[in-house]
Amino acid sequence: MPGTLGAVSLDNAGAEKLSLHAVQGFQVEYTMDVQAVKLGGTVYVDISSMSRALRLLSKRDGGQLAIMYSDKGNKTVCRLIEGSNFVDFLPQNPGRPQRVVQLRSAPVLWKKSLWLRAVDAVRLFSLWMDREVVYDQQQGRIDAFLWSSQPDSKKSKVGIVRAEDRHISDGPAPRYKGPTTLNALEVSELANGVVIRIKATGSKSAASFIKPGKKSTASLTLQTAKGDPADFFRTFSQGLLKEIRAIPLGNGAVQIDISLNNEFYKVKSSEYQWDSATNTYVISIMSDIDVQAVYRAEKEKRIRQELARDLQKWKFDTIVLDAGHGGKDPGAVGKGGTREKDIVLRIVRYLGAVIKKEWPEIKVVYTRSDDRFIPLKQRGKIANRSDGKLFVSVHCNAAENRSAKGAEVYILGPHKNDAALRVAMLENAAIKQEEDYKNKYRGFSEEHTIMSSLAQNAFTLQSKDAARHVLEGMEKKTDINGRGVRQAGFMVLWTPSMPSLLVEAGYLSNSGEEKVLRQTNVQRNIASGIFNGLKRYRATYEKQQVASSAREGKEG
Ligand SMILES: [Zn+2]
């Protein structure tokens, strides 16, 4: 079933109302609609439309979308490709680092637009533009805080003390009678200040408020009041407030002392008011906080949470096994009639069985478990959809030189030599078996290969590690000589968003090796050799995971 597996279809999606609210500076804001659809509870946005709302230019070419962004003279192009979880940030200025990020889902081409899950779209723009972009599904809105990161723009909407927080009533004052008694203390801490409320009964006391000015204390003295000092003693471990304390003065007055933390906070203004409606003495102290710092802290917190989730995501729990070729594509065929597609399917089945037995907790996903044709691109999509943590593709080799023999393990990368290129071309030739391959693989050019190897860079080290262990494992288990770990631009290794390797178990073009590869015990040994390699790889992989999560913990 070529072309139907893996891809999300938005044909049944319904229209979804979504607006983007952008804050570009203090009181410089605008709102624009973004094209969105909803499918089974998941909201997808048209990335071009979202780019427009962010005032960015974008250009689509087939399944590729390029978005242009310029920040303080640094221009970058963000490139997305239909079906690929990897996004490229390509700097247009020389010497700037290139970045590749991985999304949790891949863009979908639908109605001549690229669509991405809204949660992934906001993450993409946040990472790329280094600005806060947040999606609120309930409100149907995206908030983009695009203000400059330069220190001169400090104003924001973060945690402003609003009038209603101060609860000051303007209405006529009720008559309060009797002695003034202070009953309760209420403190609201906000990002840009604090509001202290002292609730009282009895008549209104005359009061004098001493502003903190440059000192670290403010005080409110109520001329005729009583109250239990214990009810008004409060200390604070962080933020603008350090301590609040009520001190009974000898003459029947009470002084409320407020100590402030002015090492990190500068007091901008302060005021005292009596709220007649509730008989409450209200002190507000506004601090000149660094909104950027608050925003950074919030962002860091969220990134840490995301990283923690990502680590969880990278838990080694799923292996994707890919038996090369199949169906109408036999792969290499030996002189004795041995077909690559049959040998590799058996090896992969044995490998799957060993994994199931030794690692019952690990899910094994097969791109094919019988003799059927699966397009190359589809194999990567199956892997991505199953959230695999390692992709192992198994093949047998063939060469015009009939004496060539031995096993090789490949990882994706630029072809290091002609031989590697030849093997890659041989395996890539499978796409010609696919209907309409010219259209489907349009854009799979040299550029594409570079792009894909860049994307795979994120996993190159892990892939190399896995490949090395697998080759060692096979050498120990079989008489087939290991010819080394190589790099080549295999198409099947392009789409998986995970460490990936391709095993060439031996040469069917070599009549001696063809005979060996036909033997069931050899096929089993190859499988168990690969498994031993995976075992070593898994051990190092999980050690690294622990190390990186420990590092994460320290930084947090
Ligand atoms: Zn092959």
Give tens-digit pLDDT for 14-24.
Answer: 999 999 988 77
pLDDT band at residue 278, thresholds of 50, 70 and 90?
A: confident
Q: How far is the CA of 106 from the centre of ligand 1 (A)?
A: 27
* CATH code assigned to 163-289: 2.60.40.3470
Distance (Å) from CA 385 to ligand 1 centroid: 23
373, pLDDT greater than 80: yes
Q: Which residues are found with C-beta within 5 Å of the ion, ligand 1?
A: 324, 331, 395, 427
Higher per-residue pLDDT: 402 or 302: 402
Look at residue 48 in the predicted model and tell me its pLDDT: 94
Distance 320 CA to ligand 1 centre (A): 17
State the pLDDT confidence band at 145, using cuts at 50, 70 and 90: confident
Q: How much distance in Å is there from the Cα of 333 to the middle of ligand 1? A: 10
420 versus 31: which is more confidently predicted?
A: 31
User: Distance, CA 207 to ligand 1 centroid (Å)?
Assistant: 88
What pLDDT is recorded for position 331?
A: 94
In the reported structure, the alpha carbon of residue 506 is separated from the centroid of ligand 1 by a whole-number distance in angstroms of 10
Residue 547 has pLDDT above 60, yes or no: no
Distance 262 CA to ligand 1 centre (A): 69
CA of 395 to the centre of ligand 1 (A): 4
Domain ranges of the chain: 14-145, 163-289, 314-555
Rounded Cα gap, residues 118 and 225, in angstroms? 57
DSSP bridge pairs for 495:
none
* Separation of CA 94 and ligand 1 centre (Å): 40
Give the integer Cα–Cα distance in Å for 166 and 194: 10
Report the alpha-carbon distance of residue 23 to residue 258 in Å, rounded: 35
What would the mean pLDDT of 465-492 be, rounded to a whole number?
A: 81
Between the CA of 454 and the centroid of ligand 1 the distance, in Å, is 24
- Burial string for 48-87 (b: 16+ CB within 10 Å, else e) reads bbbbbbbebebebeebbbbbebeeeeeebbbbbbbbbbbb
CB 331 within 8 A of CB 341: yes
pLDDT on residue 42 = 92
DSSP string, 72-109: TTEEEEEEEETT-SEEEEEESSTTPPPEEEE-SS--EE
Which residue type, as a one-letter code, is found at position 290? D
What confidence category does residue 155 fall into, taking pLDDT thresholds of 50, 70 and 90?
very low
C-alpha of residue 133 to centroid of ligand 1, in Å: 45
Ligand 1 centre from 493 Cα, in Å? Answer: 12
What would you report as the CA-atom Rg of the chain, rounded to the nearest whole angstrom?
Answer: 33
Per-residue pLDDT band for 55 (boundaries 50, 70, 90) equals confident
- From ligand 1's centre to the CA of 536, what distance in Å? 25
CA of 383 to the centre of ligand 1 (A): 18
528 CA → ligand 1 middle, Å: 20
Asked if residues 273 and 168 have their Cβ atoms less than 8 Å apart, the reply is yes
Say how many Å lie between the CA of residue 511 and the centre of ligand 1.
17
Q: Is the pLDDT reported for residue 95 higher than 80?
A: no
* Paired tokens of 359: 């690692």
Residue 458 in this model has a pLDDT that exceeds 60: no
Dist. CA 505 → ligand 1 center (Å): 10
Ligand 1 centroid to residue 427 C-alpha, Å: 5
Q: What is the whole-number distance in angstroms between the Cα of residue 324 and the centre of ligand 1?
A: 5
Distance 551 CA to ligand 1 centre (A): 41
* Dist. CA 426 → ligand 1 center (Å): 7
Distance, in Å, from the CA atom of 12 to the CA atom of 428, rounded to the nearest integer, reads 34
Q: What is the CATH number of domain 314-555?
A: 3.40.630.40
Compute, in angstroms, the gap from residue 354 CA to the centroid of ligand 1: 22
Q: What is the Å distance from ligand 1's center to 384 Cα?
A: 21
- Residue 430 Cα to ligand 1 middle (Å): 8
394 alpha carbon – ligand 1 mean position (Å): 7
Q: How close is the Cα of 502 to the center of ligand 1, in Å? A: 9
What is the dihedral angle through the alpha carbons of 342, 348, 354, 355, rounded to the nearest 10 degrees?
-160
